[in-house]
A and B are shown apart, each in its own frame.
Chain A
Amino acid sequence: MSVEVRNITKRFGKFVALDNVSLRVNSGELVALLGPSGSGKTTLLRIIAGLEFPDPGSAQVLFYNEDVTNLPASQRKAGFAFQHYALFRHMTVFENVAFGLRVRPRDKRPAEPEIRSRVAKLLQLVQLEPLAQRFPSQLSGGQRQRVALARALAVEPKVLLLDEPFGALDAQVRKELRRWLRRLHDEIHVTTLFVTHDQEEALEVADRVAIMREGRIEQMGTPEEIYEHPASPFILNFLGNVNLFQGRIHEGRVVIGGAEFQATNHVGESNSGAVAYVRPHDIRLTRERTGQSSLAARILRVNAAGPVVQVELERLDDHSQFGVQLSKEFSRQLNPQAGEQVFVELQNLRVFAEDYSI
C-alpha cells in the first residue's frame, strides 16, 4: 500500500518546478514534504493526485506498485485536502462527506442506509457528529479542515494527500490540529503525504520528512536524522536558527579565530576555507578561558523573556555577531550582563566547504 513517484520533472514555461524527483512513501507512513514556497512541494503533491501531469519522459506514479501515471484524478482514489478546504458551500457537512459515495456509478454506489452509517462513522472519527447538518460557512477553520479530511477519507483513498492543511489557521489551532492529525493517523494508518512550510509541524507530526529545495529533494529521513545530521547548510538553516563562523579546515579539525574545534560531521583533510554552523543552544558561555577551544566575545544584549534566555554577542577578533540560548537555570548562575566580556565554547559544529551556497 505504498505510494511512489519516479523521475518526475515538471516545467512551467522556463521555470523548473520539479527536477527529476523520486520519492517513496511506505504503507501506512506519514511523510511530510517540507520546503520554502516555490520549492515544488505542492506541484509534486498535485502530480500524485493527478491534478497536474509530469512532463513526458520516464516519469512514473505508482500506487501500491501499480502504474497510475496516465490515470485521471477521478480514478486514482487519492484523497486530497486543500489549504482553503474547498468544501462545497451549498451542501451540509453530511452531504460534503457523502459526496464521494453519491457520485459513484450506480452499480458501485452504496445504498442510502449504508451511506448514512458510513458518513456518521467518519464524522465520529473527526469528532464532528453534532455538526452534520451545518453548512461550511457556519464552521470554524479547524472544523472545516476536519470535514475536508472526513470527505477525503469517505472514498477509502489509497493515499491521503494534504496540501498545507493547517496553513490558513492561527498558531494555536494549528498546534492542536496537527497533534490530532497524528492521533488520527495512528488510528487509521492510511498512507499519508502532507505538504508544509512549517519545519516544526513537519518534525513533530511526520514519520519521515522530505526536505525540498528548488524542485529537488535535498534530504529525506526521520525527523531526528534530519535534525541531527542535516545534509547541507540549507537544511540547517531551514530547520531553525543557526550561527555561522568562518574558519579553515586543518587536519580534520576546524580553526576559527585562534581556536580549534572538532567538527561533528566528516571534514576533508584539505587546508581550505570552511563555514561552521552552530545552533544557539550548542554554545557555552564562560567567564574564564577554558583551553584551546574558546573564543573571546562581548555581550551586546540579554533577553530573558520566554522559556530560554537569548544572548546576543559580538566576537572580539572579527566583530561578527552571533546568538546564544541559555537555560534559565544556567543564566541565573552565570548572570550575564550586557557589555561584559566572556568566552564561548562551540559544540556540535557542522562544517561545510565555504563555496556551498545557501
Chain B
Amino acid sequence: MAGPAISRLNRTVTARHATHDPAWVQWTLTAVALLFLTLFLFVPLAAVFTEAFRRGIGPYFDAFRNPDAISAIQLTLTTATIAVPLNLVFGVAASWAIAKFNFPGKSLLITLIDLPFAVSPVISGLIYVLLFGAQGWFGPWLAEHDIRIIFAVPGIVLATIFVTFPFVARELIPLMQSQGNDDEYAAITLGASGWQTFWRVTLPNIKWGLFYGVILCNARAMGEFGAVSVVSGHIRGQTNTMPLHIEILYNEYNFVAAFAVASLLALLALVTLALKTWIEWKNPAAHGAEA
C-alpha cells in the first residue's frame, strides 16, 4: 500500500508545468530585457531631465519665457488641436465603413490607411512640397491666389494629419470587426435611427479603443519631426514646432533650453503612457485583445 502512495507523491513534487522554464533561463531573459530598457529608455530619459536642470530651476524655466519657445509651443498645440479631431472623425468614419460594410475598394482603403506607417515621414513631407511648393503642381495657382501652404502653418498641419491618420483607424478596425453588427441590428429593430444607433450603441462600444487611438495620435502629432521639418522652413517664431525648436536650440549649443523643451515632450510621452496603462487596466478589451 505504501509503495504506490509514495511514488505518486514524488511525482507530484517533481511535476513541472510544460511551459515552465528553468530559473536561470527566466532570470537571464529578464536581465537582458531590463538591461536593454535601461540603456535605450531610462538612461536617455534621465539624461533629458538631468541636462535640462543642469544650471538649476531658473534657467530651466527661462527656456519657456523665450518668445520663440512660446510660439513653438503654441504652434504645436494648434497643430494637434486641428489634426487630432480631424483624424478622430476620419478614423471613426473609415473604421465604421471597413468594419460594418462590404464595398468595392475596401482592401485598397485599408492599405491606404497604413500608408503613412510604411512611408518615411521625410518622404511624406516632400510629397507636400512637390504638390504645394513654389515649383510644385499647384504652386503657381496657389501663388496667384496668395495662399501659402509650404513654409507656413497649413503645410505643417497637413503633414501632421497625414503622418498621424492611421492611429485612430488602426485601433478601431479590429475592435469593431470583433464586435460585429448584431448590436447595431438590435438597435435598429428596436426603432432607433442610424444616428441614434451610432451615438447610443456604436460609440459607447468603441469609446475606450477610440480614446486609446486618440492619445497615441496626439502624442505623435505633437512629437512629429521628419515630415514637419521638410514643410516648415524653420522660420523662428512662425513655423517652428516644439521638436523643430529643440533641434535649433541644440544646434546653437543652447543645451539647457533644448533639453528643457525636450523635457516637456518627454513629459507628454510619460502622460501618454500613464493614460494608456490606465485604459488597459480600466478596460482590457479596449486595445483589441478580447477579455
| Chain B 101-123 interface 0/1 with A at a Cβ cutoff of 8 Å (1 = within) | 00000000000000000000000
* Contact status A103-B182, CB under 8 Å: no
A-chain residues with CB within 8 Å of residue B147 when the two chains form the complex: none
Which B residues are CB-close (under 8 A) to A155?
190-191
Given contacts A82-B182, A88-B201, contact A99 B189 (CB under 8 A): no
Q: Which of A32-40, A69-77, A333-341 contacts B (4 or more CB under 8 A)?
A: A69-77
Q: Tell me the minimal C-beta distance from B272 to chain A in angstroms.
A: 25
Chain B residues with Cβ under 8 A from A49's Cβ? 189
- Give A117 to B10 CA distance when docked, in angstroms: 65
Q: Considering the chains assembled together, what is the distance between the CA atoms of A80 and B191 in angstroms?
A: 11
Q: Could you mark each residue 180-203 of chain B with 1 if its beta carbon is under 8 Å from any beta carbon of chain A, else 0? A: 001101111111110010001100
Main SS class of interface, B: helix
Contact between A73 and B205, CB atoms less than 8 A apart: no
A89 CB–B CB distance under 8 Å: yes
Give the distance in Å from the alpha carbon of A82 to the alpha carbon of B186 in the complex.
8
Kindly state the separation between the CA atoms of A75 and B192 in the bound complex, as whole angstroms: 9
Q: Using a Cβ cutoff of 8 Å, how many contacts connect chains A and B?
A: 64
Nearest Cβ distance between residue A344 and chain B, in whole angstroms? 50
Interface residue tally of chain B, by bracket? 10 to 19
Shortest distance in angstroms between B197's beta carbon and chain A's nearest beta carbon?
A: 8
The verdict on A86 contacting chain B, using a C-beta distance below 8 Å, is yes
CB distance from A343 to the nearest CB of B (A): 52
Please name 12 pairs of A and B residues whose Cβ atoms are closer than 8 Å in the assembled complex, sorted by A: A51-B188, A74-B188, A74-B193, A79-B189, A82-B186, A86-B185, A87-B186, A88-B186, A99-B200, A100-B192, A103-B200, A148-B186
Indicate if B204 sits at the interface (CB-CB under 8 A).
yes
A41 touches B (CB below 8 Å) = no
Q: Which of A74-108 contact B (CB under 8 A)?
A: 74-80, 82, 84, 86-90, 99-100, 103-104
- A103 contacts B183, C-beta separation under 8 Å: no
Which A residues touch B187, using CB under 8 A? Answer: 88, 99, 103
A-chain residues with CB within 8 Å of residue B186 when the two chains form the complex: 80, 82, 86-88, 148, 151
Residue in B183, B191, B204 whose beta carbon sits within 8 Å of that of A104 in the complex? B191
Residue A152 at the B interface, CB < 8 A? yes
CB–CB A90/B204 < 8 A: yes
By beta carbon, the residue of chain A nearest B190 is A100
* Interface residues on chain A, number (Cβ under 8 Å): 28
Q: Are A100 and B191 in contact (CB under 8 A)?
A: yes
Known contacts being A86-B183, A88-B183, A103-B196, is A51 close to B204, with CB within 8 Å?
A: no
Bound-complex Cα distance A78 to B188 (A): 10
Interface residues of B (CB under 8 A from A): 182-183, 185-193, 196, 200-201, 204-205
Is the pair B188, A73 in contact by a Cβ cutoff of 8 Å?
yes
Write the nearest CB–CB distance from B282 to chain A, whole angstroms.
13
Ordered nearest first, which 5 A-B pairs have the shortest CB separation? A100-B190, A86-B182, A86-B186, A103-B192, A80-B189
Which one of B185, B196, B204 contacts A80 once the chains associate, using CB atoms below 8 Å? B185
The 8 Å CB contact of A151, one of B185, B190, B200, is B190
Q: Which residues of A contact B201 (CB under 8 A)?
A: 88
Q: For A152, give its contact among B183, B189, B205 (CB under 8 Å).
A: B189
Q: Are A74 and B189 in contact, with the CB atoms below 8 A?
A: yes
CB pair B185–A77 under 8 Å, yes or no, is no
Report the Cα distance A152→B187, complex, angstroms.
10
Return B198 CB to nearest CB of chain A, in Å. 12
Chain A residues near B192 (CB, 8 Å)? 74, 99-100, 103
In addition to A74-B190, A82-B182, A99-B200, 4 A-B residue pairs with Cβ atoms within 8 Å of each other are A50-B189, A77-B191, A100-B192, A148-B186
From B188, B196, B201, B205, name the one whose CB has the most chain A CB atoms within 10 angstroms.
Answer: B188
A-side contacts of B191, CB under 8 Å: 74-75, 77, 100, 103-104, 155
